[in-house]
Structure 1
Amino acid sequence: MNTVTSLIHGRALLRSLLVVALVTAGPAFSAEQSAPGQSVAEPPSALDAAGQLQRLVIKPRFGFGWLRVAGGVQFQTGGITKSVLFYGPGIARVSAHKGQSHTRQSSLVVVASPQAPALDIAESADALIVAGAGLRAVVDKRTGTIAFQRPDGTPLVREQEAPVLTPGTEPSGTQTYVVEQRFALTPDESLYGLGQYNEPYMDYRGREVLMVQTNIGIVVPFMVSTRRYGLLWDTYSKMRFSDGPQGAAFRAENAPAGVDYYVVAGDTMDEVIAGYRYLTGAAPMFPKYAFGLFMSKERYATQQRLLEVVRRFRRESFPLDVIVQDWQYWAGQKDGQWDGNWSGMVWDPERYPDPAGMTRTLHDDLHTRLMVSIWPSIGNDTALAGELDAKGLRFEPLHWISKRARIYDAFSEEGRAIHFKHAKKGLFDIGVDALWMDGTEVEVGGAAHDPAEVEADIKRLGRNAMGDFGRYLNVYSLLTTRGVYEGQRASADLGDKRVFTLTRSAWAGQQRYAAMPWSGDTTASWDALRAQIAGGLNVSMAGLPYWTQDVGGFFVNAPGGERDPAYRELFARWNQFGIFNPIYRIHGTSIEREPWAFKALEPAVYRSIHRAAELRYRLLPYTYSLAWASTHDGYTMMRGLAMDFPDQPALRRVDDTYMFGPAFLVQPITRPMFHAELPPPPTVPATQLRTPDAQPGLELEYYRGMEFEQLASRTVDLQAEHHWPGPPLDSVPPGLDGLQNFSARWQGRIIAAEDGEHEIGVEGDDGFRVWLDDKLVVEDWKESGARFAGGRVELRKGQAVRVRIDYFQKGGGRSMRLAWRTPSERIALAEHQRRLDPRQATLLPAGTDWYDFWTGQRHAGGASAARRYAIDEFPLFVRAGSIVPLGPVVQYADEKPDAPYEIRIYPGADGRFTLYDDDGESYRYEKGEYATVALAWDDAQHTLRIGAREGSFPGMTEQRELNVRLMPSGPGDRVQTKTVRFHGEPVELSFTQ
Structure 2
Amino acid sequence: MTKPIELKRRDFIGALACASAGPLALPADAATALPSALDGAGQLRALRMGPTPGGFAWRRVAEGVQFRSGDLTKSVLFYGAGLVRVAAHLGEAHTTQPSLVVVVRPKAVACEVSDSADTLTIAGPAVRVTVDKRSGALAFFGADGRLLTRERGQAPTELQRVEIAGSLSYALTQTFTLTPDESLYGLGQYDQPYMDYRGRDVLLVQTNIGIVVPFMVSTRRWGLLWDVYSKMSFSDRPDGATFRAESAPAGADYYLVAGADMDAVIRGYRQLTGAAPMFPKAAFGLFMSKERYQTQQQLLEVVRRFRAERFPLDYIVQDWQYWGGEQDGPNGREWDGKWSGMVWDAERFPDPAAMTRELHDKLKVKLMASIWPGVGNDTALARELDAKGLRFEPLHWISKRARIYDAFSAEGRRIYFKHVKQGLLDVGVDALWMDGTEVEVGGAAWDPREVEADIKALGVTAMGDTTRYLNVYSLVTTRGVYEGQRAAGPGGKRALTLTRSAWAGQQRYAALPWSGDTTASWATLRAQIAGGLNVSMAGLPYWTQDTGGFFVNFPDGQRNPAYRELYARWNQFGIFNPVYRIHGTSIDREPYLFKTLDPAMYGSLLRAAHLRMQLLPYLYGLAWRCTHEGYTMMRGLAMDFPDQAALRKVDDTYMFGPAFLVQPITRPMFHPVLPPPATVPATQLRTPDGQRGLVLEYFEGIDFDKPASRTIDTVVDHHWPDPPLGSLPPGLSGLNRFSARWTGEITASEGGEHEIGVEGDDGFRLWLDDKLVVDDWAIGGARFTSHRLTLREGQTLKLRIDFYQAGGNRVLRLAWRTPSQQRDLARTQRQLDKRQATLLPAGHDWFDFWTGERHAGGRSTERDYALDEFPLFVRAGAIVPLGPVVEHTGQSPEAPWEIRVYPGADGGFTLYEDDGETYAYERGERATTALRWDDARRTLHIGPRHGRYPGMVTRRELRVRLMAPPGRSEQTHTVNYQGRATTLRFDPSDPTR
3-state SS, counterpart of residue 650 of structure 1: helix
> Could you say what secondary structure the match of 1:870 adopts?
coil
Note if 1:101 corresponds to 2:98. Answer: no
8 Å CA contact 1:359, 1:432 repeated in 2: yes
Is the contact between residue 32 and residue 257 of structure 1 (CA under 8 Å) also seen in structure 2? Answer: no
TM-superposed deviation, 1:381: 1.7
CA distance 1:309–1:655, shift in 2 (3 Å): same
1: CA distance, partners of 2:302 / 2:461: 42
Q: 1:152 aligns with which of 141, 144, 149?
A: 144
| Equivalence for 1:488 | 485
Q: Which letter maps to 1:129?
A: T
* Residue 650 (structure 2) pairs with residue 654 (structure 1): yes
Q: Contact (CA 8 Å) 1:163, 1:259: kept in 2 or not?
A: no
Confirm whether residue 225 of structure 1 aligns to residue 229 of structure 2: no
Query: Counterparts of 1:744 and 1:846 in 2: how far apart (Å)?
Result: 61
User: In the aligned structure 1, how far is the partner of 2:507 from the partner of 2:29?
Assistant: 24
Pairwise CA distance, 1:885? 0.5
Deviation (angstroms), 1:820: 2.1
What does residue 189 of structure 1 align with? 182
Q: Work out the CA distance in 1 between the residues paired with 2:712 and 2:468.
A: 48
Counterparts of residues 227-306 of structure 1 (less than 5 Å): 227-306=220-299
Amino acid at match of 2:446: H
Q: Partner of 1:756 in structure 2?
A: 752
Partner of 1:785: 781
* Selected match of 2:976 from 978, 981, 985: 981
How many Å separate the matches in 1 of 2:947 and 2:640?
A: 30
The CA distance in 2 between the partners of 1:713 and 1:121, in whole Å, is 72
Partner residue in 1 for 2:364: 367
Which of 422, 436, 439 does residue 439 from structure 1 map onto? 436
For 2:463, give the aligned amino acid. M
Q: Which residue of 1 aligns with 2:473?
A: 476
- CA contact 1:732–1:739 (8 Å) conserved in 2: no
1:690 CA drift (Å): 6.4
Structural mapping, 1:550-629, within 5 Å? 550-629=546-625
AA partner of residue 489 (structure 1): R
The one-letter amino acid paired with 1:942 is R
1:87 and 2:82 are equivalent in the alignment: no
RMSD over aligned CA atoms reads 3.0
Amino acid at match of 1:380: N
Paired residues, number:
953
Structure 1 equivalent of residue 531 of structure 2: 535
1:338 to 1:710, Cα distance in 2 relative to 1, 3 A = closer
Q: Secondary structure at the match of 2:413?
A: helix
Partner of 2:828: 832
Residue 763 of structure 1: how far off its partner (Å): 2.8
* TM-score between the two structures when normalised by the length of structure 1: 0.91
Q: In the TM superposition, what whole-angstrom CA distance separates every residue of 1:404-451 from its partner, at most 9, and x where no partner exists?
A: 111111111111111111111111111111111111111111262111
Q: Is the 8 Å Cα contact of residues 737 and 804 (structure 2) preserved in structure 1?
A: no
Task: Give the secondary-structure state (helix, strand or coil) at the position aligned to 2:334.
Answer: coil
Correspondent of 1:948 among 944, 950, 960: 944
Q: Which residue of 2 aligns with 1:116?
A: 108
- SS of the residue corresponding to residue 572 of structure 1 reads helix
TM-score normalised to structure 2 length: 0.91
- Pairwise CA distance, 1:165: 4.0
Spell out, residue by residue over 1:73-94, the C-alpha distance to the aligned partner (whole angstroms, 9 max, x if none): 1112212211111111111111
Which whole-Å CA distance do the structure 2 matches of 1:616 and 1:429 have between them? 31
Pairing partner for 1:320 from 313, 316, 319: 313
| Distance (Å, rounded) in 2 between the aligned partners of 1:178 and 1:742 | 41
> Is 1:636 equivalent to 2:637 in the alignment?
no
Match of 1:972 in 2: 967
Number of the residue aligned with 1:47: none
Residue number among 868, 891, 896 corresponding to 2:892 in the alignment: 896
Which residue does the alignment assign to 1:399?
396
Q: Structure 1 166/694 Cα, relative in aligned 2: closer, same or farther at 3 Å?
A: closer
Residue 126 (structure 2) pairs with residue 138 (structure 1)? no
Q: Which secondary structure state, in structure 1, belongs to the residue aligned with residue 206 of structure 2? A: coil
| Distance in 2 (alpha carbons) for counterparts of 1:42 and 1:874 | 59
- SS state at 1:170 partner: strand
Moved more, 218-227 or 402-411: 402-411
Report the Cα distance in structure 2 between the residues aligned to 1:184 and 1:716, rounded to whole angstroms.
53
Aligned to 2:25: none
Q: Residue 170 and residue 847 in structure 1: after superposition, are their counterparts in 2 closer, same or farther (change >3 A)?
A: same
Deviation, structure 1 residue 646: 0.2
* Equivalent in 29, 41, 45 of residue 45 of structure 2: 41
- Structure 2 CA distance for partners of 1:765 and 1:70, relative to 1, 3 Å: closer
Residues 568-588 of structure 1: per-residue CA shift (max 9 Å, x gap): 111111111111110011111
Of 261-270 and 322-331, the range deviating more from structure 2: 322-331
SS in 2 for 1:62: helix
Determine if contact 1:639/1:661 at 8 Å carries over to the other structure: yes
Note the C-alpha offset of 1:170.
Answer: 3.4
Question: 1:199-242, CA deviations, whole angstroms, 9 ceiling, x for partnerless residues?
Answer: 11111111111111111111111111101011111111111111
- Structure 1 residues 393, 782: closer, same or farther in 2, change over 3 A? closer
| Pair 1:811–1:117, CA change in 2 (3 A) | closer
Q: One-letter code of the match for 1:607?
A: G
1:988 Cα shift?
1.4
| 1:297–1:743 distance in 2 versus 1, CA, 3 Å | farther
CA contact (8 A) 1:229 1:269 kept: yes
> How far 1:357 moved relative to its partner?
1.0
Q: Is the 8 A contact 1:58 1:66 kept in 2?
A: no
Q: Structure 1 residue 609: deviation in Å?
A: 1.2
Residues 469 and 716 (structure 1), Cα distance of their counterparts in 2 relative to 1, 3 Å cut = closer
Contact 1:24 1:42 in 2 (8 A): no
Deviations 1:803-823 (CA, angstroms, capped at 9, x unpaired): 676767665545444432112
By how many angstroms is 1:256 displaced? 1.3
Aligned equivalents of 1:731, 1:308: Cα separation in 2 = 46
Matched position secondary structure for 1:429: helix
Distance 1:22 1:351 in 2: 65
Q: Among residues 830, 843, 849, which one is paired with 2:845 in the alignment?
A: 849
Aligned residue type for 1:38: G
Looking at structure 2, the residues matched to 77 and 716 of structure 1 have their Cα atoms a distance apart, in angstroms, of 61
Choose the corresponding residue for 2:929, options 933, 939, 952: 933
Give the distance between the partners of 1:32 and 1:898, measured in 2 at CA: 56
How far the C-alpha of 1:452 sits from its partner, in A, is: 1.4
- Distance change (3 Å), C-alpha of 1:521 and 1:272: same
**Using a 3 Å threshold, how does the CA distance of structure 1 residues 204 and 698 change in structure 2: closer, same or farther?**
closer
Q: Distance in 1 between matches of 2:706 and 2:249?
A: 57
Deviates more, 1:578-587 or 1:454-463: 454-463
CA shift for structure 1 position 171: 3.2
More off after superposition, 928-937 vs 693-702: 693-702
Equivalent-residue separation in structure 1 for 2:803 and 2:116 (angstroms): 78
Compared CA separation, residues 948 and 525, structure 1 to 2 (3 A): same
CA contact (8 A) 1:720 1:816 kept: no
Offset at residue 971 of structure 1 (A): 4.9
CA shift in 2, pair 1:735/1:880, >3 Å? closer
Q: Which runs of 5+ in 2 are unaligned?
A: 1-27
Q: Deviations over 1:691-746 (max 9, x none)?
A: 8999977799999999x99998999987683648699x987899999974869696
How far is the alpha carbon of 1:960 from its aligned partner? 0.7
CA distance in 2, matches of 1:145, 1:722: 51
Preserved CA contact (<8 Å) 1:850 1:878 = yes
Deviation at 1:766, TM superposition (A): 4.0
